Amino acid sequence: MAYTVSIKWGKEKFDKVDLDTSEPPEVFQAQLFCLTSVPPERQKIMAKGKTLKGEWTGFPVKTGMTLLLMGSADVLPDEPVKKTQFVEDMKEGEVAGGATFSAGLTNMGNTCYMNATIQCLKNVPELQAGLDSYSGRLDFGSIMTNPSEAITVSLRDLYKLMDKAQSVPPIIFLQVLHTVFPHFAEKGEGGVYQQQDANECWTQMVRMLQTRLPALPSTSSEQVNGAGKASSLVDQCLGLDFKSTLKCDEAEGEPSSESTERLYQLSCFISADVKYLHTGLRLRLKETVTKHSTTLERDASYTKTSAITRLPSNLAIQFVRFFYKEKEKINAKILKDIKFPLMLDVYDLCDADLQAKLVPMREKFKEQEDKEAEQKAKAKSKESMEVDEKERKTKELPSSFPGDMCSNNSGYYELSAVLTHKGRSSSSGHYVGWVRWKGDDWLMYDDDNVTPVKSADVLKLSGGGDWHSAYVLMYSTRKLIVDDE
């Protein structure tokens, strides 16, 4: 049942607050947290002398009544009195306690999978900008009728909180996620939330954002790579286009068939001979499948050959580390060490047409690298190089194709975020987000514990044991900075 009530909290009163007893009380508590900043664990809600105790049964509610809320709000952080320091200028202890970067997220009970996903996706600048400009408000009464709106608005609001605080309990977003995807709210013994698969959370969040965030308008009418007008910002900044050819191995006369598809992640398959990320990615481009042959009138073996026809500005890659063990009924983990690079080149994964379009920008990268190498060789001293760098005027060249916003026009990427898992099963263990801050400096987001690390520490997350191993990688387009002559 839906009601409209008033809330009396100290000297303040909030009128026309929606309360729906068909939803768990935690949802209503999250609403009160938005209004008053009183965390749910400190809320005491009373009506006619009775206290809300975790369920609506026996708690008197009717439209127009006033509920009494007791509890102290979280204290807002004071305005900083010191000049802002950047992480590269801080000592380790200062970084851990500073507020010059995105806040950590409180673990609400096996919610590290969600926290790590949120931190990694926040490092996609296009998504962050799209959410910042997104309008709308969260209506708890219409979450199930408009789930993508609820996910988008609650994520936008959470990101804004994360930019203002040092640690944030993601109460509202968690409640929305549980309402939209009930299996994420499954509880085990003792009533504690069960661990979930972070990549599944990642995939569902991206799917929700895809339906809400509008595409950026193109700055050119020219279309490249066969790219039509994108319908979503997610399609632009995360969408990979593939072209596949299917050829029957057992009937030479049967004509091959072609198809296209759009994906939002590449998959790195892990087998005995895969030691490096690139090897695993290439395995996906040529595979054997079994399907019905109209020529042979039976199932036959087919070779499926694929190639990328469109590269996004942000490339997500999943290590396929989990497989289902029927006997134990768990998603067991492949612990094998798979090396991944800080700089990734996917030129050889693309089809010939796209490769030809990538060449001009790749040549510019080569010219700039040769020029910088020559300048370093001519430099007489370190001091003279520093002076030159200070006086140097530079500009950033466009990294997208004309008419294809948020594409990648070089095939070059650099690692920007890593989501790792520690444990033996996707439904147990612990997830952590590792986010590039600037240059060689990274931040490890272990829920609300934020620690500075270096690129060398991130490269050690390749697996091979029970320590954290990379599960999802995010690569961002490399930017080319040249002299502004």
Residue 384, pLDDT score: 53
- Who contacts 11 (Cβ-Cβ below 8 Å, separation ≥6)? none
Is 331 in the same domain as 253? yes
pLDDT 10s per residue in the chain (485 long)?
788 999 999 888 988 888 888 777 877 887 787 677 787 778 999 998 899 987 888 899 999 999 999 988 755 444 444 343 333 344 433 333 333 578 999 999 899 999 999 999 999 999 999 999 999 888 888 888 999 999 999 999 999 999 987 889 999 999 999 999 999 999 887 788 899 999 999 999 999 999 999 999 876 555 544 444 578 999 999 999 999 999 999 998 999 999 999 999 999 989 888 999 999 999 889 989 999 999 999 999 999 999 999 999 999 999 998 887 777 667 788 889 999 999 999 999 999 999 999 999 999 999 999 998 888 888 765 555 554 555 678 899 999 999 999 999 999 999 999 999 998 877 788 999 999 999 999 999 999 999 999 999 999 999 988 789 999 999 999 999 998 77
Active site residue 430: yes
Note the pLDDT of residue 386. Answer: 53
Residue-level pLDDT at 483: 86
pLDDT at site 93: 36
Q: Tell me how many domains the chain contains.
A: 3
Considering only CA atoms, which of 168, 166, 159 is closest in space to residue 134?
159
CA distances from 127 to 283, 350, 408 (A): 30, 25, 16
Considering the domain architecture, whether residues 376 and 268 belong to the same structural domain is answered as no
Rounded distance between C-alpha atoms, residue 406 and residue 91, angstroms = 36
The pairing of beta strand 330-333 with beta strand 343-345? unpaired
> Do 342 and 438 reside in the same domain of the chain?
yes
Secondary structure (3-state) at 67: strand
- DSSP-assigned letters across all residues of 411-426: SEEEEEEEEEEESSBT
Residues 196, 482: Cα–Cα separation, whole Å: 45
- At residue 443, what are phi and psi to the nearest 5 degrees? -125, 130
* Residue from 112, 201, 237, 350 carrying the catalytic annotation: 112
Helices (H) and strands (E) counted in the chain, each on its own, are 12, 23
Query: Are residues 385 and 266 part of one domain?
Result: no
Strand positions, DSSP E, 330-379: 330-333, 343-345
* 30 and 159 assigned to the same domain: no
Indicate whether 66 and 142 sit together in one domain. Answer: no
DSSP 451-468: EEEEHHHHHT-B-SSSS-
Domain finish residue from 365, 391, 417 = 391
- Which of 361, 391, 421 represents a domain boundary (last residue)? 391
Residue 293 sits in a domain of what CATH number? 3.90.70.10
Query: Does 242 reside within a domain?
Result: yes
Q: Which amino acid is at 191?
A: G
Catalytic, out of 183, 248, 430, 468: 430
Establish whether 268 is a catalytic residue.
no
User: DSSP letter at 146?
Assistant: S
Q: Mark whether 347 and 379 lie in a shared domain.
A: no
Task: Identify the pLDDT of residue 78.
Answer: 42
Same domain (yes/no): 137, 231: yes
Length of the chain: 485
CATH number, residue 6: 3.10.20.90
What residue type is assigned to position 376 of the chain? K
Which structural domain, as residue segments, surrounds residue 66?
A: 2-70
In this structure, are 113 and 62 located in the same domain?
Answer: no
Q: Which residues contact 435 (CB under 8 A, 6 or more apart)?
A: 102, 119, 120, 122, 123, 416, 417, 442, 443, 445
